[in-house]
């Protein structure tokens, strides 16, 4: 391990992984200009120039940052360029008269030649096609990554070639391997050497294309492996009470859809199949009753259940519900403020406080609002024989990808107990009077308004007129609607915050200004209008959760996405369009996955969204790439089977 040195900064834990740290582009240093004749230089073209430093470089400062002007010459003509940042060491070892190689974008002004975006080129790269790697800020520079990879490449290539061959042979029929990866005239070893030491630009980019396809296959392998494990892993069968009998403790009749999802989960447990489930359903579909009934079944079979929620208020609410329904089985509450006799409770409801207690082995772990918890938190309570049930209206992209490919079993609730229709619209700064009129109309009809802000208080050290804090919004709304407005956010005294929420629930106020403390678990009677201020600051998951506060008890409602910032990115508008077009949490989660990426889907991955990572590092990809590879290998298997038969 000591031999790896700074390679460990790149996430490389074994030497063979060095060969799979991919460059993202190549630069051609085979042509270097030593004669600076402007007639042969293309305006705005890229060029590499070798010349001698003519004068001592001049350093000046702007906004506290240094910039140094250099002039190099070929004996007759000169080229001027500026380097930014600390150049003291460069100047020290390169006095006037020393030869310097520099690259940049050519700019010609009369008879003068300038280089924009200039950078110094290592002399050892001259005459080569150089791979360009990503560095790690503050740890290792891109040029040092190149040197580290080159230093370890020969030792790494043989071992990694065998690993890639194993991966390919696992999924692709042998006769199609070469055509599948697209390297009919090169071995895998030759491809890897071309990836890091190409002789031409074409060699480098072709090798990168081959390795990209193998990376997508590796990602597909991660999904398919998880699905296979879920189908094959056996645990002790759980034989509990009939769920329909247990359901009699619930004071309302479960729908056929709810009972069906309960029976799907219970069936796996009854037959001793270790499972990971994802229960997905919008606000009002009865998720708590469903996972509560599944938990009761496990408890009645003699196993213990841990139910983890993201905050204390929600944990107390779920505890009270489940204690009412299934108190005879032994339901306890564990939060920062509540303790229980863990050993004598079959169902323990709590917050992340559960992670800091020795609660023993669990037969089932339930994570409600799973998108609010890290992977490590969700999995810390698991043992070899523990079933996992994750619950969300809008699951994180990684979990969604697992659900779509059978790596977790999907339990879906599509029908609410009450009919409701929420219209979602986007509003800009010029629409603020329209928004205010909407608030006035809502409260005049005897209904209520929730205004959610991205910040509790104004940031005096970093003021931004386009980020409206809850305190600023509260003061402004009080002027327009005196006596009608209350405020609640995380920096307030907890009792004051609770008092504000109690007032609006008891019809002593009509407008609640808050932060995302309102995102989960809050029900306000006759709340028919939700305004999300600075909606660009939220992801789709949070936006959908906040919208879910509207008209929880049925009827019509409005969700207003307010964008006061005049500079709105294309990605923000994509999210807003999803919110306007979609009301179904499952579809929103699917689109969120497409927009943000599936994250780490390997066995040991922990990123819940973003570019997926596999054994091959530095390759960008999406779920569509993985889907395409899975379809392709299935097609090749069918072709091989048909030929064999």
Is 514 found in the same domain as 434? yes
Q: How much is the average pLDDT of 345-350? A: 92
DSSP string, 184-207: TTS-HHHHHHHHHS-SSHHHHHHH
Inter-residue contact 367 to 308 (CB < 8 Å): yes
Copy the structure tokens of residue 248: 């009699």
Q: Which of 180-194, 392-406, 609-623 has the highest mean pLDDT?
A: 180-194
Is 406 found in the same domain as 299? yes
In a domain, 450, yes or no: yes
Which pLDDT band, with edges at 50, 70 and 90, does 233 fall under?
Answer: low
Q: Which CATH number do you get for residue 547?
A: 3.40.50.300
pLDDT above 70 (res 451): yes
In a domain, 588, yes or no: no
Where does a domain end: 413, 438, 457? 413
Q: How much is the average pLDDT of 116-120? A: 94
In a domain, 578, yes or no: yes
Is 403 found in the same domain as 336? yes
27-36, 43-52, 73-82, 387-396: lowest mean pLDDT where? 387-396
Is 547 found in the same domain as 483? yes
199-208, 285-294, 565-574: lowest mean pLDDT where? 565-574
Copy the structure tokens of residue 197: 């030491």
pLDDT at res. 404: 64
Q: What is the CA radius of gyration of the chain?
A: 31
Exposure string of 334-349, with b = 16+ CB inside 10 Å and e = fewer, is bbeebebebeebbbbb
Is 428 found in the same domain as 377? no
**Cα 314 to Cα 297: distance, rounded to the nearest angstrom:** 22
Q: How far is CA 22 from CA 29, 163, 312, in A?
A: 19, 16, 45
Which pLDDT band, with edges at 50, 70 and 90, does 610 fall under?
Answer: very low
**Cα 289 to Cα 308: distance, rounded to the nearest angstrom:** 15
Instruction: Name which of 521, 500, 496 is nearest 448 in CA terms.
Output: 500
Burial class (CB in 10 A: 0-12, 13-18, 19+), 66: middle
The percentage of residues in the chain with a pLDDT greater than 70, rounded to a whole number, is 88
Exposure string of 93-125, with b = 16+ CB inside 10 Å and e = fewer, is ebeeeeebbbbbebbeeeeebbbeebebbeeeb
pLDDT per residue as tens digits for the range 222-232: 767 765 655 55
Q: How far is CA 450 from CA 435, 474, 533, 535, in A?
A: 12, 11, 11, 14
Is 165 found in the same domain as 111? no
Instruction: Name which of 257, 260, 254 is nearest 289 in CA terms.
Output: 254
pLDDT at res. 608: 44
Higher pLDDT residue, 608 or 93?
A: 93
In a domain, 593, yes or no: no
Residue in the structure block whose two tokens are 């070798």: 50
pLDDT at res. 181: 85
DSSP 8-state secondary structure symbol assigned to residue 6: G
Is 559 found in the same domain as 477? yes
DSSP 8-state secondary structure symbol assigned to residue 610: B
Q: Which CATH number do you get for residue 121?
A: 2.40.50.140
Go through the chain and tell me how many residues it has.
645
141-145, 230-234, 512-516, 547-551: lowest mean pLDDT where? 230-234
Copy the structure tokens of residue 626: 């993985």
- Apex 404 CA angle, 401 and 410, nearest 5: 110
pLDDT above 60 (res 604): no
In a domain, 606, yes or no: no
pLDDT at res. 256: 92
pLDDT at res. 563: 94
Mean pLDDT of the chain: 85
96-100, 356-360, 427-431: lowest mean pLDDT where? 356-360
Residue 408 belongs to domain spanning: 243-413
Question: pTM of the prediction?
Answer: 0.60
Q: How much is the average pLDDT of 405-409? A: 70
Inter-residue contact 223 to 601 (CB < 8 Å): yes
In a domain, 642, yes or no: no
420-424, 530-534, 557-561, 625-629: lowest mean pLDDT where? 625-629
pLDDT at res. 4: 67
Copy the structure tokens of residue 573: 């508008």
Is 317 found in the same domain as 445? no
Is 403 found in the same domain as 260? yes
Residue in the structure block whose two tokens are 């609770």: 498
Is 112 found in the same domain as 174? no
Instruction: Name which of 19, 24, 18 is nearest 192 in CA terms.
Output: 19
Most distant pair of Cα atoms in the chain: their distance? 96
Where does a domain end: 99, 126, 153? 126
pLDDT above 70 (res 302): yes
Is 175 found in the same domain as 271? no
- Going by C-beta distance under 8 Å and a sequence separation of 6 or more, which residues neighbour residue 51? 34, 36, 72, 73, 74, 78, 79, 99, 100, 102
Is 409 found in the same domain as 424? no
- How many structural domains does the chain have? 4
Q: How much is the average pLDDT of 270-277? A: 87
Copy the structure tokens of residue 280: 């997905």
**Cα 124 to Cα 269: distance, rounded to the nearest angstrom:** 63
Burial class (CB in 10 A: 0-12, 13-18, 19+), 354: buried
- Going by C-beta distance under 8 Å and a sequence separation of 6 or more, which residues neighbour residue 350? 306, 307, 308, 309, 315, 333, 334, 335, 338
Q: How much is the average pLDDT of 452-479? A: 81
Exposure string of 622-637, with b = 16+ CB inside 10 Å and e = fewer, is bbebbbebbebbeebe
- Apex 305 CA angle, 299 and 306, nearest 5: 160
Q: 254 φ, ψ to 5°?
A: -70, 150
**Cα 480 to Cα 531: distance, rounded to the nearest angstrom:** 16
Beta strands across the sheet bearing 555-563: 420-428, 555-563, 527-533, 448-452, 511-514, 485-488
Q: How far is CA 535 from CA 515, 542, 576, 598, in A?
A: 12, 10, 8, 23
pLDDT at res. 369: 78
pLDDT at res. 270: 93
Inter-residue contact 367 to 277 (CB < 8 Å): no
pLDDT at res. 1: 38
Q: Between β-strands 364-368 and 305-308, what pairing exists: parallel, antiparallel or unpaired?
A: parallel
Where does a domain end: 232, 254, 271? 232
Looking at the DSSP bridge assignments, the partners of residue 474 are none
Which pLDDT band, with edges at 50, 70 and 90, does 609 fall under?
Answer: very low
pLDDT at res. 562: 95
Residue in the structure block whose two tokens are 């009677």: 525
In a domain, 441, yes or no: yes
- Apex 444 CA angle, 443 and 446, nearest 5: 65
**Cα 519 to Cα 536: distance, rounded to the nearest angstrom:** 16
pLDDT per residue as tens digits for the range 162-203: 889 998 998 889 888 888 888 778 888 999 999 999 999 999
Cα–chain center distance at 96: 50
pLDDT at res. 497: 83
27-31, 398-402, 503-507: lowest mean pLDDT where? 398-402
């Amino acid at each position: 391990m000591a031999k790896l040195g700074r390679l460990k900064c790149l996430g490389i834990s074994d030497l063979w992984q060095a060969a799979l740290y991919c460059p993202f582009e190549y630069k051609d240093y085979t042509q270097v200009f030593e004669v600076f004749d402007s007639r042969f230089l293309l305006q705005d073209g890229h060029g590499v120039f070798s010349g001698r430093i003519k004068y001592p470089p001049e350093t000046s400062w702007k906004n506290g940052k240094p910039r140094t002007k250099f002039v190099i010459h070929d004996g007759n003509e000169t080229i001027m360029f500026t380097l930014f940042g600390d150049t003291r060491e460069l100047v020290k070892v390169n006095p006037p008269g020393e030869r310097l190689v520099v690259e940049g974008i050519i700019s010609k002004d009369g008879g003068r030649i300038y280089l924009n975006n200039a950078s110094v080129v290592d002399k050892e790269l001259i005459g080569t096609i150089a791979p360009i790697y990503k560095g790690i800020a503050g740890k290792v520079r891109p040029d040092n990554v190149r040197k580290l990879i080159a230093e370890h490449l020969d030792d790494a290539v043989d071992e990694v070639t065998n690993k890639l061959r194993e991966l390919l042979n696992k999924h692709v029929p042998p006769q199609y391997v070469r055509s599948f990866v697209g390297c009919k005239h090169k071995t895998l070893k030759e491809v890897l050497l071309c990836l890091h030491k190409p002789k031409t630009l074409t060699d480098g980019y072709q090798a990168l294309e081959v390795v990209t396809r193998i990376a997508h296959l590796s990602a597909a392998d991660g999904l398919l492996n998880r699905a296979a494990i879920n189908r094959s892993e056996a645990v002790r069968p759980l034989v509990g009470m009939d769920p329909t009998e247990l359901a009699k403790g619930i004071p309302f009749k479960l729908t056929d859809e709810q009972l069906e999802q309960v029976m799907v989960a219970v069936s796996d447990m009854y037959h001793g199949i270790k499972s990971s489930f994802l229960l997905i359903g919008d606000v009002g579909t009865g998720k708590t009753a469903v996972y509560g009934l599944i938990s009761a079944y496990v408890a009645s079979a003699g196993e213990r259940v841990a139910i983890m929620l993201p905050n204390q208020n929600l944990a107390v609410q779920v505890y009270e519900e489940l204690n009412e329904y299934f108190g005879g089985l032994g339901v306890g509450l564990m939060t920062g403020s509540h303790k229980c006799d863990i050993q004598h409770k079959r169902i323990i409801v709590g917050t992340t406080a559960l992670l800091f207690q020795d609660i023993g082995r669990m037969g089932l772990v339930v994570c409600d609002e799973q998108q609010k918890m890290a992977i490590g938190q969700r999995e810390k309570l698991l043992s070899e024989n523990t079933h996992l049930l994750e619950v969300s209206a809008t699951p994180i992209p990684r979990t969604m990808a697992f659900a779509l490919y059978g790596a977790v079993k999907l339990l879906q609730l599509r029908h609410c107990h009450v009919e409701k229709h929420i219209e979602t619209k986007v509003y800009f700064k010029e629409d603020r009077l329209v928004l205010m009129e909407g608030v006035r109309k809502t409260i005049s009809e005897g209904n209520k308004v929730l205004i959610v802000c991205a910040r509790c208080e104004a940031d005096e050290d970093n003021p931004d007129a386009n980020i409206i804090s809850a305190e600023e919004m509260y003061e402004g709304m009080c002027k327009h609607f005196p006596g009608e407005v209350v405020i609640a956010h995380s920096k307030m005294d907890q009792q004051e915050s609770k008092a504000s929420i109690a007032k609006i629930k008891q019809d002593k106020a009509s407008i609640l200004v808050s932060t995302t403390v309102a995102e989960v678990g809050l029900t306000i009677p006759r709340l028919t209008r939700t305004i999300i201020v600075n909606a660009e600051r939220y992801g789709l998951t949070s936006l959908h959760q906040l919208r879910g506060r509207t008209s929880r008890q049925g009827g019509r409602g409005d969700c207003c996405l307010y964008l006061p910032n005049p500079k709105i990115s294309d990605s923000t508008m994509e999210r807003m369009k999803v919110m306007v077009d979609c009301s179904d949490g499952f579809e929103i989660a699917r689109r969120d996955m497409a927009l943000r990426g599936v994250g780490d889907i390997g066995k040991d991955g922990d990123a819940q969204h973003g570019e997926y990572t596999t054994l091959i590092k530095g390759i960008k990809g999406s779920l569509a790439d993985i889907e395409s590879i899975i379809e392709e290998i299935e097609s090749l298997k069918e072709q091989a089977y048909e030929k064999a038969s």
